[in-house]
Structure 1
Amino acid sequence: MDTTDQSKVRQALNEKDGFQVWWRLLRPHTLTASFVPVFVGTMVALNEDSISMPLFLAMLIASILIQSATNMFNEYYDYVRGLDSEESVGIGGTIVRDGIKPKTVLNLALVFYAISLILGIYICIESSWWIAVVGLVCMLFGYLYTGGPLPISTTPFGELMSGFFMGTVIIGISYFIQTGTVTNNVILISIPIAILIGSIMLSNNIRDLDGDKKGGRKTLAILVGRKNAVGVLALFFIVTFLLTLIYILLDILPAWSAITFIAIPLALKVVKNFVGKTEPLEMMPAMKATGKTNTIYGLLLGLSLLINSLL
């Protein structure tokens, strides 16, 4: 790819130099998958007792660091395996377009992991050392998502694993460190969030389907085909909002949680923006809107729980 073509790609993706290089490396549109579960889990706990703000902040920062490190591992290992090029979209582009050394990206990911470990020790001291076991498993799967001999991201289980660990497990941990227990209700409440986090990964795989297929991956989107994958994504959204309605009717969630339905038009926009699209750049708006759907839904769900706790 010559310099002119590379410049066109950077312009199309609105990529800038300086601090933006490192900001893109974090893939900020995915960080909602780390913030929302901690917020929701903590707000569920707040409805049952008072919460510790230092524990909340430590958990929040550790979760964001682990998510960021996972994104860096993805950037590094996809480059090493030859899956990323200057034309690739949806990546930070820090290595292939900005010229940052791959080793620098890997080392930064390890530093983020080290900081999250320190925060994890504090969380364990204040709650339970069982959190260390669960946290280490989460970090291991964060690495194995793109690292190791058979990266999870290359299999049909990427959506399931990311939704489970980043959704259900993180919500469960956030709730446990505040209350000392895990209830059936908090697990049920975690399911819509887990589905939306899985939808972010599915959107990513729909966009990258052609390149992933050439790279030998066997993602869910590849196995069912682009059209059917968009249908699965639509089903994810339907189940999310249907579960929310059921939970409200069963008093698992407060009536205030109906405000999450504000995110429905954005979910519809995601599906609409994917239909008929085949080029990665064409699908970037849909990919970003998927992250926004998770953000708006999660923030409104947490807000509804906060309002309910104050009444």
Structure 2
Amino acid sequence: MNPAQPNIKSSLNEKEGFQVWWRLLRPHTLTAAFVPVFVGTMLAALDGNVDLPLFAAMLLASLLIQAATNMFNEYYDFKRGLDNEQSVGIGGTIVRDGISPRTVLGLALGFFGIAMLLGIYICASSSWWIAGIGLVSMLFGYLYTGGPYPIAYTPFGEIVAGFFMGTVIIGISYYIHLLQITATVLWVSIPVAIFVGAILLANNIRDLDGDKKNGRKTIAILLGRKNAIYFLATMFVLAYGLTIVFIAVGMLPLWSLLTLLSIKKAIKAVKGFIGKSMPLEMMPAMKATAQTNTIYGALLGLSLLIQLYFPL
């Protein structure tokens, strides 16, 4: 046994039993699936009507696709020799817990299968146009780390993840209820997309050295650690700036000023990366980035819900 194994497991506070499978889901990333569904649904509620069973199906399908994408990441990074016992930011179920790679791949495909069944229900209850968009989204979820040219290894990972996990999911979550889409929905989706992309950027800043050795060409590698941290800060400023603009022009209600309460986490995330070079040292900053997305998205959706009952 590699002597580093118990150290890294202890440092990450990894436990056995059910926790092994929970880590495989990478729960800290699942908010990136919840937030856009919640926001899109609340936008639909403001403009008309919401079908609760459709909302539940869309939320579950989104969570399953995100979890499956995480499992594909775990499987293909292991197959390419990118993950080892000392890797952080992964479930570690293969390299540290001894779970069979085929089991991880099978679970990912199973989750995709359930998501497809939910997709059929969603399409039958709304529009079959959703089927094409859903299949493309699932394909990109697979290609993010699967296939001969994984998107995660290129400078486009943040853009692709933000677009599909932000704009596309918000758009679908709105469309299935009202069978239409508006420019406002697309504009409002941009800050959410930016925050989702920020999670990926934070991940790539943390993993910069290891990714560089393994031939990846992420935006963090191309910019360098210092400039990548500046870029992360710029993304946060842009997202909050757009939110304020959308409130000023009436696309979002005044209640959406509540989203600014998440700025504290964004500042913590940026400061947490400054002067750090070891992956374990940057884990709190990575966590703060994910929490920024969670808090911002939850407050944005909540502000729309409040507007529904207490309009300003």
Q: Distance in 2 between matches of 1:61 and 1:251?
A: 31
- Cα deviation code 1:202-233 (max 9, x no counterpart): 00000000000011000000000000000000
State the Cα RMSD in Å: 0.5
Paired position in structure 2 for 1:124: 123
Q: Distance in 1 between matches of 2:3 and 2:214?
A: 26
Q: Distance in 2 between matches of 1:302 and 1:275?
A: 31
Paired position in structure 2 for 1:59: 58
Paired position in structure 2 for 1:303: 302
The one-letter code matched in structure 2 to 1:269 is K
Give the secondary-structure state (helix, strand or coil) at the position aligned to 2:3: helix
The one-letter code matched in structure 1 to 2:108 is A
Shift of 1:4: 3.3
Q: Distance in 2 between matches of 1:132 and 1:223?
A: 36
- Cα deviation code 1:9-59 (max 9, x no counterpart): 000001000000000000001001100000000000000112000000000
The one-letter code matched in structure 2 to 1:19 is F
For the pair 1:30 / 2:29, whether they are aligned, the reply is yes
Shift of 1:3: 4.2
The one-letter code matched in structure 2 to 1:209 is L
- Cα deviation code 1:78-126 (max 9, x no counterpart): 0000000000000000000000000000000000000000000000000
The one-letter code matched in structure 2 to 1:101 is S
The one-letter code matched in structure 2 to 1:151 is P
Q: Distance in 1 between matches of 2:132 and 2:49?
A: 25
Q: Distance in 2 between matches of 1:230 and 1:178?
A: 39
Paired position in structure 2 for 1:189: 188
Paired position in structure 1 for 2:207: 208
Paired position in structure 1 for 2:254: 255
The one-letter code matched in structure 1 to 2:163 is F
Shift of 1:234: 0.1
Q: Distance in 1 between matches of 2:3 and 2:150?
A: 34
Give the secondary-structure state (helix, strand or coil) at the position aligned to 1:222: helix
- Cα deviation code 1:153-172 (max 9, x no counterpart): 00000000000000000000
Paired position in structure 2 for 1:133: 132
Q: What does 1:10-29 correspond to in 2, within 5 Å?
A: 10-29=9-28
Q: Distance in 2 between matches of 1:269 and 1:4?
A: 33
Paired position in structure 1 for 2:67: 68
The one-letter code matched in structure 2 to 1:111 is G
Q: Distance in 2 between matches of 1:41 and 1:297?
A: 14
Paired position in structure 2 for 1:95: 94
Q: Distance in 1 between matches of 2:23 and 2:291?
A: 17
Q: Distance in 2 between matches of 1:286 and 1:295?
A: 14
The one-letter code matched in structure 2 to 1:20 is Q
Runs of 4+ in 1 over 4 A off after TM superposition: none
For the pair 1:217 / 2:216, whether they are aligned, the reply is yes
The one-letter code matched in structure 2 to 1:181 is Q
Q: TM-score, normalised by structure 1?
A: 0.99
Shift of 1:310: 1.3
The one-letter code matched in structure 2 to 1:42 is T
Q: Distance in 2 between matches of 1:178 and 1:267?
A: 32
Shift of 1:279: 0.2
Q: What does 1:279-298 correspond to in 2, within 5 Å?
A: 279-298=278-297
Q: Distance in 1 between matches of 2:3 and 2:215?
A: 29
Shift of 1:265: 0.9
Q: Distance in 2 between matches of 1:307 and 1:82?
A: 49
Q: Distance in 1 between matches of 2:41 and 2:93?
A: 34
The one-letter code matched in structure 1 to 2:155 is P
Paired position in structure 2 for 1:243: 242
The one-letter code matched in structure 2 to 1:241 is Y
The one-letter code matched in structure 1 to 2:147 is G
Paired position in structure 2 for 1:42: 41
Q: Distance in 2 between matches of 1:62 and 1:5?
A: 37
The one-letter code matched in structure 2 to 1:54 is P
Give the secondary-structure state (helix, strand or coil) at the position aligned to 1:186: helix
Q: Distance in 1 between matches of 2:188 and 2:4?
A: 47
- Cα deviation code 1:252-295 (max 9, x no counterpart): 00000000000001100000000010000000000011010000
Give the secondary-structure state (helix, strand or coil) at the position aligned to 1:58: helix
Paired position in structure 1 for 2:113: 114
Paired position in structure 1 for 2:142: 143
